[in-house]
Structure 1
Amino acid sequence: MTSQQSHRKDEHVSLAEKFHQSSEASSFNQVRILHQSLPELGLSDVDPTTNFASQEIAYPILIEAMTGGSERTGRLNAQIAQLAAATHLPMAVGSQSVVLKEPELADTFSVVRQHNPDGMVIANIGAGHSVADAQAVVDMISADALQVHINAAQEIIMPEGDREFYWLDQLAAIVAKLNLPVIVKEVGFGMTAKTVQKLIAIGVEYVDLSGRGGTSFAKIENFRRPEKEMAYLDDWGLTTTESLLEMRKLSTRPVIIASGGIQTPLDAIKALALGADIAGMAGEVLHHLITTDYPSTEDWLLHWLQDFKALMLLTGSKTVKDLRKQSMVFSPELESFARQRFISLE
């Protein structure tokens, strides 16, 4: 018999596909990078490798947290692990909190190590859990790092969600006592500079901004409500581009992962130009796996990465760090956001 938690995992995957947004809705369309007619580079000169969580990775791209916790999502985790192994990209699993209540579901997560034994794999747990819980989910998949997701907005909209959010002390303990990188991750609502300052103050060195524009847990959880009465929160939160601009207010900044609405290689290029260290992609990968098959998805992702490298050339960027030097033009809406938030666009 399928448990409520497993059923919810399957619901999330189905509704993520139902509400999958086209690239036309991306907040990255509010940013233009100016073309460089004289890049003075050959494609063989371009080096997209970068360091992340103490390891070198082939591209500054993370296959983001999505699945696990049910038979169906376990199969998806296996396919995502195969993708990560084939492309040499780091990957994160979906929330493993369910296994703390139902240990028999552990194999829907540990399957990633069967298909990706040597790659960078990131565990995932919800905020508010103990250090022991965090260590347990890390051990479950022999993880190289841990994502701790903060999802107050999702929980408030979720019919059966939590209603109390005292997280900083638990986060501080996990960061202090876990002997591997800890990434604090939003789930599609973005982060302000004030939020990240609070995280820096407790020792957090990695944040995943996860802004509005990708998989919308506001829409997903409202759809699960009997009356569907909280649609007015569909646009709650900061977009990914707004969140990246917010980071310009920080005098000290952590390693920044930008996720939420990244579909094309150009979206990822723009995220890095705006200050991200890594670009994360979830919904687009899931969309291809659900609507095509594994071979087609692997072929798509390999071509996606080739195009990313070609775009580095078109921006005159030999290395990932060079992407930070881009000249950009912003939409009036994004320019207004920056002005009202006292953020320099220079």
Structure 2
Amino acid sequence: MDRSQRKLDHIRHALATGMDQENIWDDVSFPPNSLPNISYGNTKLEVSLSPFTISSPILINAMTGGAEATTEVNQKLAILAREKGMAMAVGSQMAAIRDPSVLPSYQIVRKENPDGLIFANLGAEATVEQAQIALEMVEANAIQIHLNVMQELLMPEGDRDFRGYLENIKRIKQQLSVPVIVKEVGFGMSAETIKQLVEAEITIIDVGGRGGTNFAQVENRRHSLEMSMFEEWGFTTAESLLETRPWQGKGVSFLATGGVRNGLDVVKAIALGASAVGMAGAMLRLVQTKTMDECLRQVDHWHHQIRVAMTALGTASLAELRDAPVLITGRTAERATLRGWQLDHYARRQSHAKC
């Protein structure tokens, strides 16, 4: 099967399967603050993702490209990013590196959003030369290197040899002049993986946990040798954020992608240590089923939900959410405790926000 058809299959199955049925964020909640001493109008949504400052904490994360039919999807996503001040990542660009005829499906993003923050995207098998081509293709401000071992193993035509991935990441980091972001595609990250990336001097990591589009399920739908036992592989996004605790406040920024349904989920992710939050499946579904005006209103509504939660918690900035007390219960708490994370630390935090 050629890459263009695979890209279309991924979109079709992602829309058909929807988000993981496990509501991963429902294990995370906040104690009420009945005296927040803050005005809704003073809340600010800007986030710092060194070296970038972004006006929205929502990132349109990597989805597609590589087929003529995906050009319109990326065009709509780029317009949404431009109008609402969101960063955007394109889907894996290896298809265009191998087949230049599909270049327009990626280049449309920069055409529609000439001044926006755009991330290129390749797998960890990429060479430095390929990474440079991907950057130039979309005039990217940074590059995502994605990790998707389980998806590749379940993909009929997927990779089976993952040797040298960390060395490739190190070379790309050392030789490119833009920030390098390493991201998971939906199976989460452990502290052990994060440690290796930090030691490789990666300072922006997207933990990409289970809970959103389930790529194990997507790949299982693409062939007859179904292996459904792997559809719950890995960590959820909330569990993965707990794994980041040893590096919080130490010069590493974390992104959280996977299962984010609304503005309150964004706030929960940031309270657990994310600097910004990626949305992919929800964005894809939005631009495929709504008019552009409806899409723009939906993003406004998500931003409104974030500010409502911030006001109720008494936090004027998103950074202040990292001091807000947060309760972690259910299966998330059970699994985190087994991993050795002390969850009472989160529950007893004291917010020091002042307005």
Indicate the TM-score class for this superposition, using the shorter chain for normalisation: over 0.9
**Counterparts of 1:241-252 in structure 2 under 5 Å?**
241-250=238-247, 252=250
Which residue is equivalent to 2:40?
43
Selected match of 1:84 from 81, 86, 91: 81
Answer whether contact 1:64 1:91 (CA < 8 A) is retained: yes
1:62 positional shift: 0.8
Checking the alignment, whether the CA contact within 8 Å between 1:26 and 1:262 is kept in structure 2 is: no
1:55 is matched with: 52
Q: Give, as a single letter, the amino acid of the residue that structure 2 aligns with 1:20.
A: G
Give the TM-score taking structure 1 as reference length: 0.96
Long gaps (5+) in structure 2: 346-355
Residue 154 (structure 1) aligns with: 151
Residue 291 of structure 1 corresponds to which residue in structure 2? 289
State whether residues 188 and 214 of structure 1, in contact with CA within 8 Å, keep that contact through their aligned partners in structure 2: yes
Following TM superposition, the consecutive aligned residue runs of length 4 or more in structure 1 with deviations greater than 3 angstroms are 249-253
CA distances 1:59-116 after superposition (whole Å, capped 9, x unpaired): 2221111111111211100000000001011010111011111011111001011110
Alignment of 1:81-230 (within 5 A): 81-166=78-163, 167-228=165-226, 230=227
**What is the deviation of 1:249?**
3.8
- How far apart are 1:25 and its partner, in Å? 2.8
Among all aligned residue pairs of Structure 1 and Structure 2, give the percentage whose two residues are the same amino acid: 37
SS of equivalent residue, structure 1 residue 25: coil
The answer for the alignment partner of 1:68 in structure 2 is 65
Relative distance call for 1:48 and 1:327 in structure 2 (3 A) is same
1:319 matched to which residue of 2? 317
**Which one of the candidate residues 283, 306, 309 is aligned to 2:307?**
309
Deviates more, 1:269-278 or 1:282-291: 282-291
Name the SS of the counterpart of 2:18 in structure 1: coil
Deviation string, structure 1 residues 188-242 (Cα, Å, up to 9, x no partner) = 00000000101111111111000000011100011111232x0111100100011
| SS, match of residue 59 in structure 2 | strand
Partner of 1:15: 13
Structure 1 CA distance for aligned equivalents of residues 253 and 46 of structure 2: 16
* 1:253 Cα deviation from its structure 2 partner: 6.1
For 2:295, the aligned partner's letter is T
CA contact (8 A) 2:94 2:122 kept: yes
Deviation at 1:294, TM superposition (A): 2.2
CA-to-aligned-CA distance 1:247-270 (integer Å, 9 cap, x gap): 124475621000100111011100
Q: How does 1:211-290 map to 2 (within 5 A)?
A: 211-228=209-226, 230-250=227-247, 252=250, 254-290=252-288
Residue 329 of structure 1 deviates from its aligned partner by: 1.6
Task: Indicate the RMSD between aligned Cα atoms, in angstroms.
Answer: 1.4
Q: Choose 303-312 or 172-181, whichever is displaced more.
A: 303-312
Contact 1:145 1:183 in 2 (8 A): yes
Count of aligned positions: 342
Contact 1:193 1:250 in 2 (8 A): no
